[in-house]
A and B are shown apart, each in its own frame.
Chain A
Amino acid sequence: MADVLERVTKIIVDRLGVEESQINLDAKFKEDLGADSLDVVELVMELEDEFDMEISDDDAENITTVGDAVTYINSKN
């Protein structure tokens, strides 16, 4: 779990240029981390690469917070 959160955090920090301290499980990509819709699509793409999985468009639409991403990845691994 911690490991997944760490890896997800690193990707978000790189991609969105936010501080690590801003990231917690409840943080919303758009509202709290300043992402636009295309940023979220890209984040999902990078998560797919990082964790070597495919995230369907339907599933991706439900990933709106850092916690959503971590829960989703853990549920698939």
Chain B
Amino acid sequence: MTLEGKTALVTGASRGIGKAIALELARLGADVAINYAGSEQKAKETAEEIQAMGRRSFIIQCDISDSDAVQSMVKETIDQFGRLDILVNNAGITRDNLLMRMKDQEWDDVINTNLKGVFLCTKAVTRQMMKQRSGRIINISSVVGRIGNAGQANYTAAKAGVIGLTKASARELAARGITVNAIAPGFISTDMTDELPAEAKEQLLGQIPLGTLGETADIAAAAAFLAGDGAKYITGQVIGVDGGMAM
């Protein structure tokens, strides 16, 4: 097991992609803290699945756009696990609207969760990882942060921002043995994409060279790779897992 003895914190791990990543890291041997915003029951289920694999896991409620809450979350994770090797910044939301109709609140909510949240969590774990002289930070961006998307100005800006943040933090932390990389998923079948109207989905499939939506397991596999020893010489990169949408 390649992640034996490692500990991880995955944000937004109650559902969807975050849950799949948490389970995959645990399957490979890691202990995993499960962050969520509101879905306590679902977070519990994820943690129980991990405990059933014989790994340590606990749930931790925290709104990642709240600086104080993030600091307590990271502190509790380190208190429980004794160290922190892997942070997966996965939690994210959408508030789609046409640019002309987009409300300030919709813009702010998405930037605060999807971009500021990544900054806050990264900042909070840096101290521990610098002391350890090792750490892996994996940020979940999106294909739209690379190629844009109509109706998602807020989300696209945040996800492009995550790519910039990934590169800046990779440069800043490289000398301390910490790598920072991003995964840019394409359209993955989760609650987030289930909301899309059938017509939009049909149109989407036409833009995907591989011709199908992706699965959460596809993202989890990339995250596990970046967390493992095989990726020790990779930092500041964006890995597209998108069926070929962005080339």
Interface residues of A (CB under 8 A from B): 38, 41-42, 45
Q: Please tell me the number of chain B residues within 8 Å of chain A, measured between CB atoms.
A: 6
Interface residues of B (CB under 8 A from A): 127, 130-131, 172, 175-176
A45 — which chain B residues lie within 8 A by C-beta?
A: 127, 130-131
In the complex, given contacts A38-B176, A41-B130, what are 5 additional A-B residue pairs having Cβ atoms less than 8 angstroms apart?
A38-B130, A38-B172, A38-B175, A42-B130, A45-B130
- The dominant DSSP class at the A interface is helix
Query: Measured between alpha carbons, how far is A26 from B172 in the docked complex, in Å?
Result: 28
9 interchain pairs (CB within 8 A)? A38-B130, A38-B172, A38-B175, A38-B176, A41-B130, A42-B130, A45-B127, A45-B130, A45-B131
A38 — which chain B residues lie within 8 A by C-beta?
A: 130, 172, 175-176
Q: A28 → chain B, closest Cβ, in Å? A: 21
Residue in chain A with minimal CB distance to B172 = A38
Q: A50 → chain B, closest Cβ, in Å? A: 13
A42 — which chain B residues lie within 8 A by C-beta?
A: 130
Residue in chain A with minimal CB distance to B131 = A45
B175 — which chain A residues lie within 8 A by C-beta?
A: 38
Residue in chain B with minimal CB distance to A49 = B131
Q: B124 → chain A, closest Cβ, in Å? A: 13
Q: B180 → chain A, closest Cβ, in Å? A: 14
